[in-house]
Structure 1
Amino acid sequence: MDRIADERPLSQEAATRGAVRVHAPARLHFGFLDLHGGLGRRFGSIGLAVDAPSIDLTARPAAGLRVDGLEAGRARGYAEAAARHLGIAGHAALQVDQAIPAHAGFGSGTQLALSVAAALAALDGRPFSPDAFADALDRGNRSGVGLAAFTQGGLIVDGGRDASNGPPPLIARLAYPEAWRVLLILDEGMTGVHGTREVEAFRDLPRFPEAQAAEICRIVLMQVLPSVATAEPEGFGAGITTIQRLIGDHFAPHQGGRYASPAVAEALAAIAARGVAGYGQSSWGPTGFALLASEAEAQALKADLERPGSLRFVIARGRNSGASVTRL
């Protein structure tokens, strides 16, 4: 277990404060709406908050800043940034008991940063604006899905960034049907494109074809969103798969193919051969997913695909609420 500490005398006021627990969902990023940007806005995203994996952390008053548990180094950095943003001392003992895998396509950085900041704000009795903090950290610099997953949950569409470079506006949010499931396919032996490689990819890729951006927007507006609103899983899945094909092929030169992980790609091919309508890769991967209409379908597919190897399969639900902050 990692531990990073910075001890200072504990004030009497701080010592009387109670503990705070934060639980936050991961998010899946299904694709960009408009990488062409000819209408003045670029990117635009569609994604989903899911109940697994998730972040679970507690914060208690302490003489200084101490961070224990999973992702302690990253959590420490976010805690320091949050204290500066909130204008507080940031004296707290943070314990991260559950963490979202880093660089796996789940938006772990945004969720961890917001969770830590929310915990420190609640512990200090300060108001906290996730939007303002995300903007200050430049989290969600291309997609607003992670921020909306933290604040609201559900199926999310954002409107991309304009020339002002402000946060992407939330333009649609629908409750994900409670019966539906997502089979997650995790390749724990690799990470997706991130950091400098991600910046270089967006810099070096050719401009996205305008006609394909228009097709994606049409699919989202006239197929994906109506299918969720009417709980029609086949139309939803087929729409997401088409978006995945168009976006995945565009990014293929920088991730080694339509999908980043050969093992995940093999599993997705098997899923397609079984007639599943919706499947793909979240963000830069390597995590893949299959969209199923019920728990029974998800369990049957999981049992069919599981075998010794590098992949792990997890059944998740869409989460229709954002992060929870609870005083203990």
Structure 2
Amino acid sequence: MKAIEVITTARLHLGFYNFLESNTAYGSIGVSIDRPVARVVVKPSKDLVVNNFTDVKVEDVVELVTSKIGISNIEINIYSAIPRHVGLGSTTQLSLAIAYAINKLFNLGYSIRDLAALLGRGLVSGIGTAAFEKGGFIVDSGRFLNNNKILHEPKKGDDLPRVVYWAKLPRNWYFITIVPMNIQGLSEREEKRILSLPKKPPIEFQYELYKTLLLEMIPAISERNAKKFGKALTKIQLLTGKYFSRHQQGIFCCKETETIVNLLLKYGVYGVGQSSWGPVAYGIIDDRKKARIIMNNVLRELNNKGIKEYMAFIAKPNNRGATVKVVG
């Protein structure tokens, strides 16, 4: 019996370069990383069968996907999943993985972007959808407001933020990624409430973001200069955190994430950030041995401070999209 396997990976949100200008709301920067991984296999069945071989909650995602697509005579096997609500883009990747497998199994003809819109993804950011589609380093266009102050959910694929810049990141760039224990980022409902009504910051604030992205971060990729990239990343992250500080505990979501960021800098990473609403924190370095030493030093100090990690790993850029194949 034919089955479709889809494997996709986590993403890190690197911040925003725009918040509100010329009827364009937001504008995201992000990167696909090679771990953690979501692996899903879907095959025909008389009834809906869900086999979840992970400890990640998936019921709401399965319900959303099957109800929106209108197909439930399938068996969904989830062999691995990205932890949810920690800032790694799990919900988008899992929902697209299941939906795209169904799409291929029944030859429904949806594009990835159409599926994302159908599933309610891409209200603010197109990074998750683009990461599923092509991986790599991504800058998206933001959303056009059409003289409306309120941002509404996309109705079709064309409503999603478009990729305006894409590049492969060097494979010898490493992201030290740490998630503190027992902390979650904002729920999607809270996020929608906050982000659906974008506020315009001072023009000098936005200019600094534009300048940092265009004159520092993007050139650093073509130059393969991880130090320059990291410096630009930190600057964009601090500005993004300042913009959202009224909705979280300051520049970062919580004291645990702030502590991780400071320790990463202390031990020598080139740049740092919080992905989405956290609590995941990350730092970039261009040497795997150094990355391992830095991560171990940070984890040791966190333990001394009474901060436990939920997960910690070293990721490389993932410069391709989800893999899809027929199995069985």
TM-score (norm 1): 0.89
Query: What secondary structure does 1:111 align onto?
Result: helix
How far apart in 2 are the matches of 1:123 and 1:203?
35
How far apart in 2 are the matches of 1:213 and 1:247?
10
Length, aligned pairs only: 307
Deviation at 1:118, TM superposition (A): 0.9
More deviation in 141-150 or 264-273?
A: 264-273
Task: Write the letter of the residue equivalent to 2:177.
Answer: L
- Could you list the per-position Cα deviations for residues 237-285 of structure 1 after superposition, in whole angstroms to 9, with x for gaps in the alignment? 0001000001112212211121113222112112222342210100111
1:145-184 map, 5 Å:
145-164=127-146, 166-184=159-177
Seen in structure 2, the aligned counterparts of structure 1 residues 79 and 205 have a Cα distance that, compared at 3 Å, is closer
Q: Could you say which residue in structure 2 is the equivalent of 1:202?
A: 195
Q: Does 1:61 pair with 2:44?
A: yes
Q: Could you say which residue in structure 2 is the equivalent of 1:290?
A: 283
More deviation in 105-114 or 75-84?
A: 75-84
1:76-155 map, 5 Å:
76-84=62-70, 89-155=71-137
Deviation at 1:203, TM superposition (A): 6.0
Q: Could you say which residue in structure 2 is the equivalent of 1:10?
A: none
CA contact (8 A) 1:79 1:90 kept: no
How far apart in 2 are the matches of 1:163 and 1:254?
22
CA contact (8 A) 1:79 1:120 kept: no
> Which 5+ residue runs of structure 1 have no aligned equivalent?
1-16
How far apart in 2 are the matches of 1:250 and 1:190?
21
* Aligned counterpart in structure 1 of residue 25 of structure 2, from 28, 39, 42: 42
CA contact (8 A) 1:82 1:116 kept: no
Deviation at 1:208, TM superposition (A): 2.1
How far apart in 2 are the matches of 1:136 and 1:24?
19
Q: Could you say which residue in structure 2 is the equivalent of 1:187?
A: 180
> Which 5+ residue runs of structure 2 have no aligned equivalent?
147-153
Q: Could you say which residue in structure 2 is the equivalent of 1:258?
A: 251
CA contact (8 A) 2:267 2:298 kept: no
- Could you list the per-position Cα deviations for residues 202-259 of structure 1 after superposition, in whole angstroms to 9, with x for gaps in the alignment? 3678532221112111111111111112210011000010000011122122111211
CA contact (8 A) 2:123 2:160 kept: yes
Seen in structure 2, the aligned counterparts of structure 1 residues 210 and 262 have a Cα distance that, compared at 3 Å, is same
CA contact (8 A) 1:33 1:216 kept: yes
1:303-314 map, 5 Å:
303-307=296-300, 308=303, 309-311=307-309, 312-314=311-313
Q: Does 1:327 pair with 2:326?
A: yes
Task: Write the letter of the residue equivalent to 2:240.
Answer: I
How far apart in 1 are the matches of 2:36 and 2:181?
13
Query: What secondary structure does 2:24 align onto?
Result: coil
How far apart in 2 are the matches of 1:199 and 1:327?
36
How far apart in 2 are the matches of 1:296 and 1:47?
24
CA contact (8 A) 1:175 1:320 kept: yes
Deviation at 1:126, TM superposition (A): 3.3
